[in-house]
Amino acid sequence: MTTAPGTSWQGLGDLAAGALADDLPGLVVLAAHGGEVHVEARGTLALGGAPVARDSLFRIASLTKPIVAAAVGTLLADGLLSLDEPVDRLLPELADRRVLRRPDAALDDTVPAHRPISVRDVLTYTCGWGQSVELFTADPPWPIATAMGAGRLNTMGPPRPDVPPEPDAWLAELAELPLIAQPGERWLYNTSGQLLGVLAARAADEPLPDLLRSRILAPLGMTDTAFTGDPARLATAYEAGAVWDAPDGRWSAPPRFPDGAAGLVSSADDLLAFARMLLDDGAGVVPPEYVAAMTADQLTPAQRAGSGFLDDGTSWGYGVSVTITGQRAGAFGWAGGLGTTWHVDPARDLVVVTLTQRLLASPDDFALHAAVVDAADAAVG
């Protein structure tokens, strides 16, 4: 770890040390400003386990989304996809979509889709499938929520690599369900990320793990990022004080369905390398014009209204949240529901990574992650 003269990272160290608890035995915090990198690796990988190290591995959940979106940018550059083409060419299972008359309607109460789902819809999470807060809170439950939860899609709740079938079977099961909203009409969370992984693999004619490795991970030296993790380096995941997943658990073997929304394991330095690629206009790996679009607001106010997942001051680019108001306008990043966050602020040339394995079950669980970003902001002025 290095510290530039005149820059104090004491606040990050204090936060990391004070955060340790029975359900948070260890964590890694990384802050990078220009060429300076500061890392706090505190605690243990599990209660009573080995110490956390800078290169410890964490299930990054939804921080998978921007990595897959970046890979799609390389497919667009190679002409294997086009932003505004229908996905039907590569995903014929999704042709002739039906759409629920209302989100809470019976599954057979549908109307025809106004148009096909486009590649842009999948990148911007407006394909018509996905999560809104009402999907979890409606009483009685919406029929579409019951259907999604009853199958093997794993489109709701935390990622479970042992649940979904292989990609073709997953897509066939998804295709049995009507859309919740018309294509392009509304931002809905998560399912588009899963669908994007299937779409990318078919466009490249290779499995998603191989595609990510050849197009993003290997060029950037992200050797710790994959759909499985070395149990000796992987942190134990906790929920409400109990073990949710052990190192030899769900991420110890290659999944049948490589989840493009939430399936990856990674490390702090790998996520820094990915962030620096975006700050460097793609660094010759991803086209600069795609990076600019990926990290810019791609939604209308009507599309992002009412999701419950985006704050008032945030919107969505391609697989990543974008801050659109306030002092951090132009920053981008996201959170992984298993306890990880990633924040990139081009104006300050600042990258902040916080890696835990305490599931983010309520707004209170984000307090540490928000405090780390605030402390890093304060340190660099």
Query: What ranges do the domains of the chain cover?
Result: 58-265+275-334
Convert the pLDDT of each residue in 345-379 to its tens digit: 999 999 999 999 999 988 788 999 999 999 999 99
Using the 8-state DSSP alphabet, how is residue 215 labeled? I
- Taken as a whole, the chain contains a residue count of 381
How far is Cα 371 from Cα 15, in angstroms, rounded to an integer?
8
Convert the pLDDT of each residue in 14-31 to its tens digit: 999 999 999 999 999 999
- Tokens encoding 229: 């993790």
Using the 8-state DSSP alphabet, how is residue 359 labeled? -
Q: Which of 39, 45, 42 is nearest to 17 (CA)?
A: 42
Summarize the chain as % helix, strand, coil (round to 5).
35, 20, 50
CB 167: neighbour CB atoms within 10 A?
Answer: 21
Q: Which residue carries 């306008």 as its tokens? A: 329
Convert the pLDDT of each residue in 108-138 to its tens digit: 999 999 999 999 999 999 999 999 999 989 9
pLDDT at 3: 45
Convert the pLDDT of each residue in 41-85 to its tens digit: 999 999 999 999 999 999 999 999 999 999 999 999 999 999 999
3-state secondary structure 12-26: HHHHHHHHCECCECE
> Does the bond joining 140 to the residue before it have cis omega, within 30 degrees of 0?
yes
Average pLDDT over residues 298-308: 91
Among left, alpha and beta (phi > 0; psi -120 to 50; other), residue 4 is beta
Using the 8-state DSSP alphabet, how is residue 117 labeled? P
How far is Cα 95 from Cα 99, in angstroms, rounded to an integer?
12
- Tokens encoding 105: 């309607």
Show the CA angle centred on residue 202, arms to residues 199 and 206, nearest 5°.
125
Answer yes or no: are the C-beta atoms of 348 and 333 closer than 8 Å.
Answer: no
Mean pLDDT of the chain: 95
How far is Cα 131 from Cα 138, in angstroms, rounded to an integer?
12
Convert the pLDDT of each residue in 215-241 to its tens digit: 999 999 999 999 999 999 999 999 998
What is the architecture, at CATH level 2, of domain 58-265+275-334? 3-Layer(aba) Sandwich (3.40)
Phi, psi (deg, nearest 5) at residue 219: -60, -30
